[in-house]
Amino acid sequence: MAYKHDYDKILTRLTIILAKLNDGEALSVKELAEEFNVSTKTIQRDFNERLSGFHIYQDKRKWKMQEGFSIEKTKSLQEQLVLDIIEKMTESIGGKFAITSHKLLSKIKNEDFNPIYTKLNIEDISDRFDDIQLIEKAIKDKTELECSYENDREGTFRTNIQPLKIVNYEGFWYLVALKDNKVQKYYIKTISNIQNTSTTFTVEENIEALLENSINIWFKSDVEPFEVKIYADEVATKYFKRRSLPTQIIETLSEDGTMEFVVMITDEMEIIPIVKYWLPHLMVLEPSWIVEMIDEDLKIYLRRK
């Protein structure tokens, strides 16, 4: 994917820059821009934002590492960057996850300083460690689980499910499982009284591909994917070019900075919340029935004001 490719290029560039600084070199923004075939603005952003947590400074248009500071040679610079990013991501989860991950990563890194900061709104399920272990074992062994589940429609009920994956969408944790040969999603915090069984099952569904192509938890496995065509103004275009949706394909990219793109979805709720979030910068063009659903929701909202 383009986004992953861009990330790999940035990580490689930052690693090389840090290595040069660590070796005592004084670096010119202009020369680095030419070396990596990027703009001087991009290199300046590397120093001012991406590497701002390291002990570097600018002296007469040259960037240097502060005297007395160096990055350990016991591991590669790229490995250190990756470990820093992982640590900050797990801090956002909080609870036992954050504490345990910090202890493990500290053993690997052998240092407290971290120049990376992330802010991810991920719910804490560290109080469900025992349940998570039971679920993980059932997924690996492909054995059914018996559990209680609570939802708004049916209240609390007892059920048997075939667990496939623990997933996180938009910060919330779910269990993707088979029930009556259909892929279902269960909110982990409303699963209780879990018991492993000895009943085994086989999986014909390509769950990895299903998850890879999904936009959010609203995806369906028993619906043929259909196409949604979207117009993005210049504000939204910058974002969706930088971080594309799964299955996103750009159809037209205009000189005024706008674009039209399509995505494949299995449920209207995979795309409607995204369009509403980006109003007025996104607009669904096709199919018309999704356009009508969004229009009706907006009319209801305006009537309440």
Could you tell me if 131 and 200 lie in one domain?
Answer: yes
CATH number at residue 239: 3.30.70
CATH number at residue 9: 1.10.10.10
Answer yes or no: is pLDDT of 160 > 50.
yes
Could you tell me if 142 and 197 lie in one domain?
Answer: yes
Residue 136 is assigned to a structural domain of this protein: yes
Encode pLDDT of 269-292 as tens digits. 999 999 999 999 999 999 999 999
* Domain count across the chain: 3
Residue 94 is assigned to a structural domain of this protein: no
Helices (H), 110-179: 129-141
Residue 154 dihedral angles phi and psi, to the nearest 5° = -115, -5
Residue 209 is assigned to a structural domain of this protein: no
Residue 158, judged by CB atoms within 10 A of its CB (0-12, 13-18, 19+), counts as exposed
Residue 149, judged by CB atoms within 10 A of its CB (0-12, 13-18, 19+), counts as buried
Residue 241 is assigned to a structural domain of this protein: yes
Could you tell me if 234 and 297 lie in one domain?
Answer: yes
Residue 72 is assigned to a structural domain of this protein: no
pTM of the entire structure? 0.64
Encode pLDDT of 230-246 as tens digits. 999 999 999 999 889 99
Q: Give dist(CA 78, CA 51) in Å, integer.
A: 13
Could you tell me if 198 and 233 lie in one domain?
Answer: no
Residue 186 is assigned to a structural domain of this protein: yes
Q: What's the chain's length in residues? A: 305
Q: What does the DSSP assignment read for 165-192?
A: EEEEETTEEEEEEEETTEEEEEEGGGEE
- Which of 17, 39, 65 marks a domain boundary? 65
Q: What is the pLDDT of residue 89?
A: 60
SS3 68: coil
Q: Give dist(CA 131, CA 194) in Å, integer.
A: 7
Could you tell me if 251 and 298 lie in one domain?
Answer: yes
Encode pLDDT of 242-272 as tens digits. 889 999 999 999 999 999 999 999 999 999 9
Domain that holds residue 45: 2-65
- Which of 22, 38, 65 marks a domain boundary? 65
> Do the Cβ atoms of 269 and 288 come closer than 8 Å?
no
